[in-house]
Amino acid sequence: MLSLRLPGRARRDRLVMQPSSLSAQTVDYPLLWVVATLLLFGLVMVYSASIALPDSARFSAYRPTYFLTRHAIAIVLGVCLGLVAFAVPVRQWQAWSKWLFLLGLILLVIVLIPGVGKVVYGARRWLSLYVFSLQPSELMKLFVVLYAADYTVRKQDYMQRFGKGFLPMGAAVALVGLLLLLEPDMGAFVVIAAIAMGVLFLGGVNGKLFAGLVVIAGTTFTLLISLSPWRRERIFAYLDPFAEGNALGKGYQLSHSLIAFGRGEFFGVGLGGSVEKLHYLPEAHTDFLLAVIGEELGLLGVMTLVVLFFWFTRRAFEIGRQSIKLDRTFAGLVAKGIGLWIGFQTFINMGVNTGLLPTKGLTLPLMSYGGTGILVNCVAIGVLLRIDFENRQLMRGAIK
């Protein structure tokens, strides 16, 4: 938005000469505490949800602490990578954005190569690196945030036009979507498309073009569902998961997730007391971690998470607005993009777990088991904290 960017110099000078209480600290400690709470809470719940998995034939070779140990390692590595990301200036992230996006595209192509991409439950989404598996779609979420923000800044004068403003970004997202649908990974495509559309909207894309983009996206998703028999079955199962034909089929996960929430009531059955995690609810430690939380900690535990994620998303948007006031459009769009990404994915995961949305393979950010997801989330937090750090430094007059 030109109105956000051009008059920023005067506002920035006024802010530098009159530092506010926001700039008194160099790091946003409340944000750090919220993120640390979510990470540690997730570690405890992943252990609770996975402790009984070795009793099944599929995981019989694993120890009860297998998933706890790997998740703890992912958090430690994620924190280290987050510190590295925090040390990188925002201008450097902008310089890297195009190359990171290209790297993400290359990885999405490589994962589709037979014999290279790792197939799990019929989906080819992972690259085996022996020590751990890398999921390119998780990396692409961060890369799209950076690329869309940089694209919006570079094309600021053309954002009201279709050919030079909207079309190139739309083509890039369509290419990413095609590669993701070939895996298939519909959930990641929905999140990435929402991130790109959100950043373009916040960056000042023409209202009519954006409305057209929404219509096209909605039509595309409708066609994808209508032309795919197994996706149609998921929709019908979502509408009535306890029907006789769905309860033991496509609606099995959702029906047991709802049973878990029902057992938890207001205060839960107690930490570790979940029955649904005992091989009734599939993927209890990943996609349906919230259902275990709802069963063991009840409505109180679920609402606590809702408040924490809402606070995080709101804070990310506040950091973004502060950056734009300081004439730092790229940083502001990245901060808002990260908030949009974490908030939207959380909304989808919670909606799926509670039966408000059709089942999708999306994890709960910062909490669910999944190495690549945790690593990328921590890097994104490091970038967000760096943006806030540079805002505070600028307001104190420490940088120009």
- Convert the pLDDT of each residue in 216-259 to its tens digit: 777 777 776 776 676 667 676 777 777 777 777 778 888 999 99
- Residue 91's pLDDT is 96
Kindly tell me the sign of the dihedral angle through the C-alpha atoms of 36, 39, 45, 51: negative
- Residue 399's pLDDT is 57
Q: 232, 184 in Cβ contact below 8 A?
A: no
- Residue 23's pLDDT is 46
Count other C-beta atoms under 10 Å from residue 112's C-beta.
Answer: 14
- Convert the pLDDT of each residue in 328-359 to its tens digit: 999 999 999 999 999 999 999 999 999 888 87
pTM given for the model: 0.89
Kindly tell me the sign of the dihedral angle through the C-alpha atoms of 264, 270, 272, 275: negative
Tell me the C-alpha distance between 398 and 38, whole Å. 32
Q: How confident is the model at residue 197 (pLDDT cuts 50, 70, 90)?
A: confident
Over residues 302-320, mean pLDDT: 97
Q: 124, 117 in Cβ contact below 8 A?
A: yes
Q: 362, 352 in Cβ contact below 8 A?
A: yes
Tell me the C-alpha distance between 336 and 314, whole Å. 9
Q: 330, 150 in Cβ contact below 8 A?
A: yes
Tell me the C-alpha distance between 233 and 222, whole Å. 14
Count other C-beta atoms under 10 Å from residue 53's C-beta.
Answer: 19
Q: What is the largest CA-CA distance in the chain?
A: 69
Rg (C-alpha) for the chain, rounded Å, is: 22
Structure tokens at 239: 């509408």
Tell me the C-alpha distance between 350 and 306, whole Å. 9
Q: How confident is the model at residue 323 (pLDDT cuts 50, 70, 90)?
A: very high
Count other C-beta atoms under 10 Å from residue 96's C-beta.
Answer: 16
Tell me the domain boundaries of the chain: 2-395
DSSP tag of 195: H
Over residues 6-12, mean pLDDT: 44
